[in-house]
């Protein structure tokens, strides 16, 4: 599908690396055979072989052909397959979100570039339990702290830090995730989330017939707020809760609404769908002024 996006040499190189790390190529490879498989001339394959030799994948000996190095052992092949499966699962998630194949590829390339751009910098890592929380938190923290933030799912962070110490990484998370991480010996900096609705607006000044929608970042948060604010819902019978995904799938949810509570990142990215709303209450993912102040101070001191 994306062959047209690669130079021929690069396509052959990554295809051979994938075959070697997947375990489907072992032993000796011959220039003529590979050239025929990819439909290119011998000089092209010789150049690719030289590059793979320099990268440590191949070793070439006169009269005995080019062999895959024995360093590509079974454990590495196993791990490669596991990582590849996780990438495939992420592609499935992106497709379910409605992304085209080209958009999925663009996302993977961009993620790869950003990952390596940050290798030499001190990492600030945000850990949260789902993709929407990570997206909102990452955007917000990068704006507030003026640093690059690496985002990792809670489940991935727990597995990742099993075998690797956090070192000088600053790991930010929520109070919900804090005990789950610290139970694994991972030191974190927790921040408060989910602003109390009654602190966002004075409900004593609005009509009980007002039509309101509180847009949440995830279904889990939606259900938690519905449970927490049952009394408020009894008083304001037109107060509804909806997720970001529900709004994107059905914009009619916002029709004829008097007041909408919306996450800042989501509002800025999709402000066109709120143009007919009478009153918009914008809230942030993190509702923790004291925590943010301490976090800024910590980053400044460590960068000094």
What whole-number distance in Å separates Cα of residue 239 and Cα of residue 226?
Answer: 10
What whole-number distance in Å separates Cα of residue 46 and Cα of residue 48?
Answer: 5
Q: What is the DSSP letter of 260?
A: E
β-sheet bridge partners, residue 242: 215
Contact, 45 vs 35, CB < 8 A? yes
- pLDDT of 115: 67
- pLDDT of 72: 64
Q: How far apart are the first and last CA of the chain?
A: 48
pLDDT in tens, 228-269: 899 999 999 999 999 988 998 898 999 999 999 998 888 988
Q: What is the DSSP letter of 196?
A: -
Per the prediction, the chain carries an average pLDDT of 84
- Cα distances (Å, whole numbers) of residue 162 to 78, 81, 131, 300: 18, 20, 22, 29
pLDDT in tens, 114-138: 766 555 445 789 999 887 788 888 8
DSSP H helices in 219-284:
219-228, 230-235, 244-249, 264-269
Q: What is the DSSP letter of 208?
A: T
What whole-number distance in Å separates Cα of residue 194 and Cα of residue 174?
Answer: 10
What whole-number distance in Å separates Cα of residue 68 and Cα of residue 86?
Answer: 25
Contact, 211 vs 238, CB < 8 A? yes
Contact, 151 vs 128, CB < 8 A? yes
pLDDT in tens, 170-184: 899 999 899 998 887
pLDDT in tens, 80-98: 888 888 888 888 888 888 8
pLDDT in tens, 158-213: 877 776 677 778 899 999 899 998 887 888 999 998 767 888 889 999 999 999 99
What is the number of other CB atoms lying within 10 angstroms of the CB of residue 174? 22
R_g over Cα of the chain: 26
Nearest to 283 by CA among 214, 187, 188, 186: 214
Q: What is the DSSP letter of 7?
A: -
- pLDDT of 82: 85
Average pLDDT over residues 126-154: 86
């Amino acid at each position: 599908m994306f062959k047209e996006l690669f130079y021929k040499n690069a396509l052959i190189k990554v295809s051979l690396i994938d075959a070697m790390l997947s375990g489907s190529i072992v032993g000796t490879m011959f220039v003529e055979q590979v050239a025929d498989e990819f439909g290119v001339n011998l000089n092209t394959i010789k150049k690719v072989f030289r590059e793979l030799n320099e990268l440590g994948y191949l070793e070439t000996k006169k009269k005995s052909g080019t062999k895959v190095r024995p360093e590509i052992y079974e454990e590495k092949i196993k791990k490669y397959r596991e990582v590849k499966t996780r990438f495939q699962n992420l592609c499935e998630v992106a497709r379910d979100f409605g992304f085209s194949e080209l958009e999925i590829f663009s996302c993977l390339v961009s993620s790869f570039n950003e990952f390596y751009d940050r290798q030499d910098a001190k990492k600030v890592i945000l850990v949260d339990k789902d993709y929407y929380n990570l997206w909102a938190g990452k955007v917000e923290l990068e704006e507030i702290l003026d640093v690059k933030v690496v985002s990792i799912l809670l489940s991935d962070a727990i597995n990742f830090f099993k075998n690797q110490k956090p070192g000088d990484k600053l790991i930010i998370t929520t109070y919900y995730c804090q005990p789950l991480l610290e139970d694994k010996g991972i030191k974190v900096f927790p921040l408060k989330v989910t602003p109390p609705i009654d602190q966002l607006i004075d409900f004593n000044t609005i009509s009980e017939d007002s039509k309101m929608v509180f847009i949440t970042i995830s279904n889990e948060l939606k259900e938690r707020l519905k449970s927490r604010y049952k009394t408020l819902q009894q008083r304001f019978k037109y107060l509804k809760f909806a997720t970001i995904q529900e709004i994107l799938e059905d914009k009619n949810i916002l029709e004829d609404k008097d007041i909408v509570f919306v996450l800042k990142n989501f509002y800025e990215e999709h402000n066109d769908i709120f143009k007919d709303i009478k009153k918009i209450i914008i809230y942030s993912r993190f509702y923790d002024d004291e925590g943010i102040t301490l976090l800024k101070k910590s980053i400044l001191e460590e960068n000094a």
